A and B are shown apart, each in its own frame.
Chain A
Protein backbone atom coordinates (compact mmCIF):
# COMPACT_ATOMS: atom_id res chain seq x y z
CA UNK A 1 0.00 0.00 0.00
CA UNK A 2 1.49 3.27 -1.12
CA UNK A 3 1.76 5.96 1.54
CA UNK A 4 3.14 9.47 1.24
CA UNK A 5 4.12 11.84 4.03
CA UNK A 6 5.14 15.46 3.67
CA UNK A 7 7.65 17.05 6.03
CA UNK A 8 9.30 20.41 6.40
CA UNK A 9 9.21 23.70 8.32
CA UNK A 10 5.75 24.99 9.15
CA UNK A 11 6.93 28.60 9.17
CA UNK A 12 9.05 30.32 6.54
CA UNK A 13 10.13 33.95 6.46
CA UNK A 14 9.24 36.17 3.51
CA UNK A 15 11.76 36.00 0.66
CA UNK A 16 13.28 32.79 2.06
CA UNK A 17 13.09 29.39 0.37
CA UNK A 18 10.37 26.90 1.25
CA UNK A 19 11.66 23.32 1.30
CA UNK A 20 9.49 20.23 1.64
CA UNK A 21 10.15 16.52 1.38
CA UNK A 22 7.73 13.72 0.61
CA UNK A 23 8.64 10.31 2.01
CA UNK A 24 7.20 7.40 0.06
CA UNK A 25 6.58 4.02 1.66
CA UNK A 26 5.26 0.81 0.17
CA UNK A 27 6.39 1.77 -3.30
CA UNK A 28 9.59 2.71 -5.08
CA UNK A 29 10.02 6.24 -6.38
CA UNK A 30 12.09 4.66 -9.15
CA UNK A 31 9.05 2.88 -10.54
CA UNK A 32 7.28 4.05 -13.71
CA UNK A 33 5.34 6.82 -12.00
CA UNK A 34 5.46 10.54 -11.68
CA UNK A 35 5.41 12.33 -8.33
CA UNK A 36 3.50 15.54 -7.84
CA UNK A 37 2.97 18.56 -5.62
CA UNK A 38 -0.32 20.40 -5.11
CA UNK A 39 -1.13 23.21 -2.70
CA UNK A 40 -4.24 24.73 -1.16
CA UNK A 41 -4.30 28.21 0.39
CA UNK A 42 -6.46 28.40 3.51
CA UNK A 43 -10.12 28.37 2.56
CA UNK A 44 -9.37 28.19 -1.16
CA UNK A 45 -9.15 25.63 -3.93
CA UNK A 46 -6.41 23.32 -5.13
CA UNK A 47 -3.49 24.58 -7.20
CA UNK A 48 -1.17 22.33 -9.15
CA UNK A 49 2.53 23.03 -8.47
CA UNK A 50 4.40 20.47 -10.55
CA UNK A 51 5.43 16.84 -10.99
CA UNK A 52 8.67 14.95 -11.48
CA UNK A 53 9.81 11.58 -12.84
CA UNK A 54 12.53 9.65 -11.02
CA UNK A 55 14.89 10.38 -13.90
CA UNK A 56 14.58 14.08 -13.15
CA UNK A 57 12.17 15.17 -15.87
CA UNK A 58 9.82 17.82 -14.56
CA UNK A 59 6.70 19.77 -15.48
CA UNK A 60 5.79 22.89 -13.54
CA UNK A 61 2.96 25.37 -13.19
CA UNK A 62 4.05 28.26 -15.43
CA UNK A 63 3.17 30.73 -12.67
CA UNK A 64 5.66 29.09 -10.30
CA UNK A 65 8.28 27.74 -12.68
CA UNK A 66 10.86 30.49 -12.16
CA UNK A 67 10.90 29.88 -8.38
CA UNK A 68 10.44 26.12 -8.31
CA UNK A 69 12.93 23.29 -8.04
CA UNK A 70 11.92 19.64 -7.73
CA UNK A 71 14.14 16.64 -7.17
CA UNK A 72 14.02 12.91 -6.44
CA UNK A 73 16.31 11.01 -4.07
CA UNK A 74 16.01 7.34 -4.98
CA UNK A 75 18.36 6.27 -2.19
CA UNK A 76 15.98 7.70 0.41
CA UNK A 77 12.82 6.90 -1.58
CA UNK A 78 11.65 10.48 -1.39
CA UNK A 79 11.12 13.52 -3.54
CA UNK A 80 11.40 17.20 -2.71
CA UNK A 81 10.22 20.68 -3.54
CA UNK A 82 11.96 24.01 -3.12
CA UNK A 83 10.13 27.27 -3.74
CA UNK A 84 12.24 30.39 -3.56
CA UNK A 85 11.42 34.00 -2.69
CA UNK A 86 8.19 33.12 -0.93
CA UNK A 87 5.60 35.68 0.11
CA UNK A 88 2.35 35.52 2.05
CA UNK A 89 0.51 34.26 -1.03
CA UNK A 90 2.53 31.06 -0.81
CA UNK A 91 0.94 30.24 2.54
CA UNK A 92 -0.93 26.99 1.97
CA UNK A 93 -1.32 23.34 2.80
CA UNK A 94 1.14 21.52 0.56
CA UNK A 95 0.30 18.01 -0.62
CA UNK A 96 2.45 15.44 -2.34
CA UNK A 97 0.90 12.69 -4.44
CA UNK A 98 1.70 9.87 -6.81
CA UNK A 99 0.84 10.39 -10.47
CA UNK A 100 0.73 7.05 -12.30
CA UNK A 101 1.16 8.68 -15.69
CA UNK A 102 2.08 12.13 -16.95
CA UNK A 103 -1.44 12.67 -18.27
CA UNK A 104 -3.36 11.06 -15.48
CA UNK A 105 -4.65 11.46 -12.01
CA UNK A 106 -3.08 11.91 -8.56
CA UNK A 107 -3.48 8.97 -6.18
CA UNK A 108 -2.82 8.58 -3.34
CA UNK A 109 -2.16 11.89 -1.63
CA UNK A 110 -0.17 12.64 1.48
CA UNK A 111 -2.00 14.12 4.45
CA UNK A 112 -0.66 17.60 3.68
CA UNK A 113 1.44 20.03 5.64
CA UNK A 114 0.63 23.66 6.39
CA UNK A 115 3.35 26.13 5.52
CA UNK A 116 2.89 29.69 6.72
CA UNK A 117 4.96 32.52 5.29
CA UNK A 118 5.39 35.18 7.92
CA UNK A 119 8.10 37.18 9.62
Chain B
Protein backbone atom coordinates (compact mmCIF):
# COMPACT_ATOMS: atom_id res chain seq x y z
CA UNK B 1 0.00 0.00 0.00
CA UNK B 2 1.81 3.12 -1.25
CA UNK B 3 -0.29 5.72 0.64
CA UNK B 4 0.46 9.23 -0.62
CA UNK B 5 3.08 9.49 -3.35
CA UNK B 6 4.73 12.75 -4.36
CA UNK B 7 6.97 13.36 -7.31
CA UNK B 8 9.56 14.67 -7.82
CA UNK B 9 11.50 14.55 -4.56
CA UNK B 10 13.77 17.42 -5.52
CA UNK B 11 13.63 20.11 -8.17
CA UNK B 12 15.55 23.25 -9.03
CA UNK B 13 13.73 25.85 -11.11
CA UNK B 14 14.85 29.09 -12.65
CA UNK B 15 12.80 32.21 -11.98
CA UNK B 16 9.82 32.34 -14.31
CA UNK B 17 9.76 28.65 -15.14
CA UNK B 18 6.70 26.56 -14.47
CA UNK B 19 6.24 23.07 -13.12
CA UNK B 20 3.71 20.67 -11.69
CA UNK B 21 4.16 18.83 -8.44
CA UNK B 22 2.43 15.50 -8.61
CA UNK B 23 0.47 13.89 -5.78
CA UNK B 24 -1.39 10.60 -5.85
CA UNK B 25 -3.06 8.57 -3.11
CA UNK B 26 -4.38 5.04 -3.26
CA UNK B 27 -6.50 5.06 -0.10
CA UNK B 28 -9.69 6.33 -1.78
CA UNK B 29 -9.57 9.46 0.37
CA UNK B 30 -11.84 12.30 -0.60
CA UNK B 31 -9.90 15.04 1.14
CA UNK B 32 -6.53 16.15 -0.20
CA UNK B 33 -4.28 19.02 0.77
CA UNK B 34 -1.16 20.87 -0.30
CA UNK B 35 1.06 22.44 2.33
CA UNK B 36 4.33 24.28 2.14
CA UNK B 37 6.87 24.21 4.91
CA UNK B 38 9.38 27.01 5.34
CA UNK B 39 12.09 26.77 8.01
CA UNK B 40 10.72 27.58 11.43
CA UNK B 41 7.32 28.48 10.02
CA UNK B 42 5.40 25.26 10.35
CA UNK B 43 2.98 24.10 7.70
CA UNK B 44 0.92 26.51 5.67
CA UNK B 45 -2.06 25.36 3.65
CA UNK B 46 -1.95 26.27 -0.04
CA UNK B 47 -5.02 24.55 -1.47
CA UNK B 48 -7.28 21.71 -0.52
CA UNK B 49 -9.97 19.57 -2.10
CA UNK B 50 -12.93 17.77 -0.59
CA UNK B 51 -13.53 15.62 -3.64
CA UNK B 52 -13.07 15.29 -7.37
CA UNK B 53 -13.92 18.55 -9.11
CA UNK B 54 -13.91 20.60 -5.91
CA UNK B 55 -10.99 22.73 -4.77
CA UNK B 56 -10.60 25.64 -2.40
CA UNK B 57 -7.94 28.10 -1.38
CA UNK B 58 -6.01 27.81 1.81
CA UNK B 59 -3.89 30.36 3.61
CA UNK B 60 -1.24 30.99 0.92
CA UNK B 61 -2.71 30.23 -2.55
CA UNK B 62 -1.08 33.04 -4.56
CA UNK B 63 1.21 31.78 -7.29
CA UNK B 64 -0.28 28.29 -7.32
CA UNK B 65 -3.07 26.43 -9.04
CA UNK B 66 -4.62 23.03 -8.47
CA UNK B 67 -7.02 20.67 -10.14
CA UNK B 68 -8.78 17.54 -8.96
CA UNK B 69 -10.08 15.55 -11.89
CA UNK B 70 -9.91 12.21 -10.09
CA UNK B 71 -10.13 11.06 -6.50
CA UNK B 72 -6.56 9.77 -6.64
CA UNK B 73 -4.66 12.76 -8.05
CA UNK B 74 -4.18 16.31 -6.84
CA UNK B 75 -1.43 18.10 -8.78
CA UNK B 76 -0.08 21.51 -7.76
CA UNK B 77 0.94 23.89 -10.52
CA UNK B 78 3.46 26.72 -10.25
CA UNK B 79 3.10 28.97 -13.28
CA UNK B 80 5.83 31.59 -12.86
CA UNK B 81 8.27 30.38 -10.25
CA UNK B 82 9.62 32.97 -7.83
CA UNK B 83 12.36 32.69 -5.17
CA UNK B 84 9.65 33.07 -2.51
CA UNK B 85 8.32 29.70 -3.59
CA UNK B 86 11.48 27.94 -2.48
CA UNK B 87 10.13 25.55 0.11
CA UNK B 88 9.32 21.96 0.93
CA UNK B 89 5.89 20.97 -0.35
CA UNK B 90 3.80 18.28 1.27
CA UNK B 91 0.71 16.64 -0.10
CA UNK B 92 -1.68 14.96 2.32
CA UNK B 93 -4.98 13.13 2.32
CA UNK B 94 -7.59 12.08 4.84
CA UNK B 95 -10.67 9.90 4.87
CA UNK B 96 -14.24 10.91 4.23
CA UNK B 97 -16.19 13.11 6.65
CA UNK B 98 -14.25 12.08 9.68
CA UNK B 99 -12.98 14.99 11.72
CA UNK B 100 -10.80 12.60 13.67
CA UNK B 101 -9.19 11.17 10.58
CA UNK B 102 -5.50 12.03 10.62
CA UNK B 103 -3.72 13.47 7.64
CA UNK B 104 -1.55 11.03 5.73
CA UNK B 105 1.42 12.82 4.26
CA UNK B 106 3.62 12.19 1.28
CA UNK B 107 7.37 12.42 1.68
CA UNK B 108 7.57 15.92 0.33
CA UNK B 109 9.07 17.75 -2.64
CA UNK B 110 12.01 20.05 -2.00
CA UNK B 111 11.83 22.93 -4.47
CA UNK B 112 14.49 25.57 -5.01
CA UNK B 113 13.87 28.57 -7.24
CA UNK B 114 16.97 30.51 -8.28
Q: Do A and B come from one complex?
A: no
Residues of A that sit less than 8 Å from B by CB: none
